[in-house]
Structure 1
Amino acid sequence: MNTTKLYAFALNPWVVIGSLTLGGAMGLMWPAMAQPLGVVGDLYVDLLKMTTLPFMVSAVIFSLQRLFRDGGASRLLIRVLTVFIGASVLVALVAAVVLMLLSPGTNLSAATMQTFGAMVGHDSNSSDTVMNLYGADIPEKSLRFSDVLTSLIPTNIFAALANGDALKALVFALLFGLAVGRVPERISIGLSLSLETIYHACQKLMHWLSYPLPVILFCMSAAQLGKSGFEPLQAMLQFVIAFFVASVLLLALAVAIIWKRSSQSLSDTLNALRAPFALALATRNSAACMPSMIESLVDRLGFARARVELLVPLAVSLLRVGPMVYYVCATLFIAQLYGRALGPVEIATVVMASVLAGFASAGMTGLVTVSLVGMTCAYLGLPFEAAFILFLAVDPVCDMLRTLILVIGNAAAVSVICPRPLKI
């Protein structure tokens, strides 16, 4: 009972927000003391990542095996494609509408523009960062669909696992799971039991790692603000607010979808989503949230385990709604910053380019994810390289929102694909 109360306390939204606020305050007041705390957050995220690949591989193979024995694989595939495409276009359109209505890149004050100039022109590391991320080959590779397809195939699955390449591991798990599903049950029963053991062990580890979450959030926010200070966030405040508004709207829509698709009340639905919500804020790593997403959808909301265990890893790896929203917001902000007027055709181009960039971001994290804004800007001829340092300065905040949209949005997509749970 005590552990249950501690788990509920650690994932309480007010505790999460309070931990982030207190940590940020310490980072601003005592930056020298706060920066060394970053190692605590790094160790915590590494512990979570440690369980991600074995959990994903075991869940996908085991679920595909059961799916093929139960039947209905072709109908499920059509439903997955429909929901993935529809969700991608929907989130991009919502982001575009919010950015056009709020126009965060227009009518900026002279002080803000002066800060932008200092950040872009006088940051000693900015030119090196841009050069590293925007060499001659990177933009071309991002725009070539054949290279994206080639990068999905693991030539050596053990190397992919060792390097933490989640997307290649997912492709292997899908193909291997399809093959195992065709093997007679009397032969594959041993593998099924082993995979189920790995799955539950990883889920238990993730549950244990949730207990110190408030402390981890405090350390991570203190270290981040102690390192960057408040000036970059203040200069990019209008963009962050616009991205926040778009994120909140999409999160509310996702929660409403899950609520309507489940057999639970709104309060029970919100309680069920506590764990993935808190982990998304703490880790900024969607793959690390997969066990809690599955636990919430299956144990708390009643969706079918066989479908959820297959669809959650698939959605997290391929349905990159968080980055899609970010790419639309960032591209339109840059267009407004440079005074570029956009008509309906240009906005539609941004939406479609952001969806493509979102799919291309599968398996990418951190600065590489941000760098793909250059792919969407290329369609409009916008100079993203000069503005890159601006987005780099506020990326820790934006990364939290991207991960939240991805985790809760993918949970909503899975709830739409899965059959409605029976009301008890």
Structure 2
Amino acid sequence: MNLLRDMLHHPAALLGAVLLGAWAGMLWPQGAPLFGALATIYLSLIQVAALPFLVLAVYFGLQRMAAAGEQWRRMGVLALLGVLLMLLCALGGALLASLAAAGAGLDAGQQASLGRMAMHAEAPAVVSLHALEAPAAAPAAPPLVPHNLYAVMAFGSAPSVLIGVLLFGAAVAVQRPEASQQLSAILEAVYRGMELSIRCVNTGLPLTACILAAAATSAAGGESIGLLTGFLATWYGSVLLCCALVVALLAWRLKAQPWQVLTALREPVTVCLFAPVGAAALPEFIEALSVRLGFSRGTVELMASICPVFIRTGEALYFAVLAVFVANVYGQPPGVAQLLLISLLAGWTALWSVGVPGVKAALWAGVLQASLGLPLDAMLPVLLLLEVLCEGARNLVSYLAAAVLIALGCEAALPRDAVAPGSAAAAPLLLVIGRRQAWLGAGLLAAALVLVFGAGIGAGLRKMLVLS
């Protein structure tokens, strides 16, 4: 079973499934509703277990950190480092997009094609001669600091839920262990059940990746993806650079080879890239960072659950690359001062959009118009068609930023079975047995053989007596 899972989750198999799905979506664009319905079914299945698992990971992270006597003061320092890391990622993405001149290679015909596709992407205006009843108002988002934990859990706002769980978990952590033992036992069973559910859904990840790629290409069309190749190439290049820097930092922190760190992170990185829901890779990240790389389990559970929600490094990087791309499309390449402004606004927008559902490129449109003086037209709806292609990479950057904060915040050492062969830590184990222990072991072995022999004779005699 593990061999089959490794084969299905191999990056080559998943990349082949994505290419197959993209090819099917371009050949059969009429199947967009079917592909979209299948993608919605997957998202519903994974979200059933994602939010409860996220909540319980934060709860048990608090309990384990309190039991281990971790210092809470450094969590505030790590939060400030996370904001700084988010701004640095945005600045790096803006610089890379500016050096690559993303969006600057479109000629007049390609720009006209991009504008036509954007016009078709907009929703048509509805005109009626009869008065219509006012539609029911959409439910308002709950406040970031909730006054009713059950209400925000029903609404599904992850930041509000996590803040409530942090308050609840901190209150439980200061109690005596015997007072919360039964509650922890019940929640532990639910925690393991949600983890198993997510792993079961992730077993069919190649099929899921194929369906999601087909849904994206059938909705967007191959022409729009071809026109936005510059943006996608720059975006994935910046993500690859972030991955390389994180692997190098973890290898330096653990005093290990980069290949060992990359091997330990292969499974969560693969799941995160090809699954559009970030929480789908959370169990794999917790296992990789705590079991394979040796970081504290409580710190990993807490930081890996909270950081991608509140410190949105992937969103800041995405907004920065998008801003430079749009500026180059309009023939206004940003200078050094504008790149700094873009990185600051990208980080600010990522922080401001915490807890607001459905804000990706549409939210950045207003900030982009106000900061760079670009006309706000219908180009951004085209980028919304490619939202699913960038979702996994955004989640991956946010999780890798959490891994950096975990590495900076706690000590770790690679487990003994993860050390490369031939190193000093991989010395053979020498077992020394004294004469008394040898005679005692031989006697116990002889007694066990005699008992087995006697039991066999007794079973045979009993069988003969029953038959006679």
TM above 0.5, yes or no, is yes
1:115-264 superposed matches below 5 A: 115-125=113-123, 151-262=143-254
Q: What secondary structure is seen at the aligned counterpart in 1 of 2:262?
A: helix
1:13 counterpart residue number: 11
Q: How does 1:108-119 map to 2 (within 5 A)?
A: 108-119=106-117
Tell me which of 66, 83, 87 is aligned to 2:64: 66
Secondary structure, in 3 states, of the residue corresponding to 1:104? coil
- Is the Cα contact below 8 Å between 2:146 and 2:164 reproduced in 1? yes
Q: How many residues align?
A: 402
In structure 1, the gaps of 5 or more residues are: 129-146
Which shows bigger deviation, 392-401 or 305-314? 392-401
CA–CA separation in structure 2 for the residues paired with 1:19 and 1:407 = 24
Q: How much does 1:194 deviate?
A: 2.2
Identical-pair percentage? 28
In structure 2, C-alpha distance between the alignment counterparts of 1:207 and 1:219, rounded to whole Å: 19
Larger radius of gyration: 2
- Displacement of 1:358 in angstroms is 1.2
User: TM-score scaled to structure 2, two decimals?
Assistant: 0.79
1:332-371 superposed Cα distances (whole Å, 9 cap, x missing partner): 2222222335333322111111111112232455x52222
Partner of 2:363: 372
CA distance in 2, matches of 1:267, 1:15: 21
Q: Does 1:31 align with 2:29?
A: yes
The residue type paired with residue 59 of structure 1 is A
Query: How does 1:375-390 map onto structure 2 within 5 Å?
Result: 375-377=366-368, 378-390=370-382
Does residue 1:104 correspond to 2:115, yes or no? Answer: no
Residue 385 of structure 1 and its aligned partner are, at CA, apart by 4.5
Amino acid at match of 2:123: N
Q: Which amino acid aligns with 1:402?
A: R
Please state if 1:49 is matched with 2:50: no
The answer as to 2:392 corresponding to 1:400 is yes
Shift of 1:329: 1.0
Question: Would the alpha carbon gap of residues 126 and 323 (structure 1) be closer, same or farther in structure 2, given more than 3 Å must change?
Answer: farther
Larger mean CA deviation between 222-231 and 172-181 belongs to: 222-231
Letter in 2 for 1:373: W
1:369 to 1:155, Cα distance in 2 relative to 1, 3 A: farther
Pair 107,235 (structure 1): closer, same or farther in 2 beyond 3 Å: closer
Whether the 8 Å contact between 1:262 and 1:303 is mirrored in structure 2 is: no
The alignment partner of 2:72 has SS state of helix
1:27, 1:222 within 8 Å by CA — same for their partners in 2?
yes
- Cα root mean square deviation, aligned: 2.5
The question of whether the paired residues in 1 share the 8 Å contact of 2:86 and 2:313 is answered with yes
State the partner residue of 2:317. Answer: 325
Deviates more, 1:72-81 or 1:167-176: 72-81
Q: Distance in 2 between matches of 1:291 and 1:362?
A: 22
Which structure dedicates a bigger proportion of its chain to helix?
1
Asked if 1 retains the 8 angstrom alpha-carbon contact of 2:24 and 2:214, the reply is yes
4+ residue segments displaced more than 4 Å: none
Are 1:304 and 1:421, in contact at CA under 8 Å, matched by a contact in 2? no
- 2:203 counterpart letter in structure 1: Y
Structure 1 residue 423, shift from structure 2 partner: 5.5
Q: Give me the whole-angstrom Cα distance separating, in 1, the residues matched to 2:32 and 2:105.
A: 35
TM-aligned CA distance change 1:384 to 1:327, over 3 Å: farther
Query: Displacement of 1:265 after TM fit?
Result: 4.0
What does 1:269-288 align with in structure 2 at a 5 Å threshold? 269-288=261-280
Instruction: Return 259-268 or 151-160, whichever deviates more.
Output: 259-268
Taking the aligned partners of 1:162 and 1:263, their CA distance within structure 2 comes to 45
Deviates more, 1:290-299 or 1:388-397: 388-397
CA distance in 2, matches of 1:383, 1:417: 44
Whole-Å separation in 2 of the counterparts to 1:194 and 1:313: 20
1:43 maps to a residue whose letter is: I
Cα drift, residue 309 of structure 1: 0.9
Q: In the TM superposition, what whole-angstrom CA distance separates every residue of 1:35-61 from its partner, at most 9, and x where no partner exists? A: 523333322222111112211222212
Q: How far does the alpha carbon of each residue in 1:396-419 deviate from its partner, in whole angstroms, 9 at most, with x for none?
A: 222232223223333333333232
Describe the superposition over 1:119-149 as per-residue Cα deviations: whole angstroms up to 9, x where unpaired.
2345452779xxxxxxxxxxxxxxxxxx99x
The residue number in structure 2 matching 1:22 is: 20
Query: Which of these residues, 285, 288, 298, is aligned with residue 293 of structure 1?
Result: 285
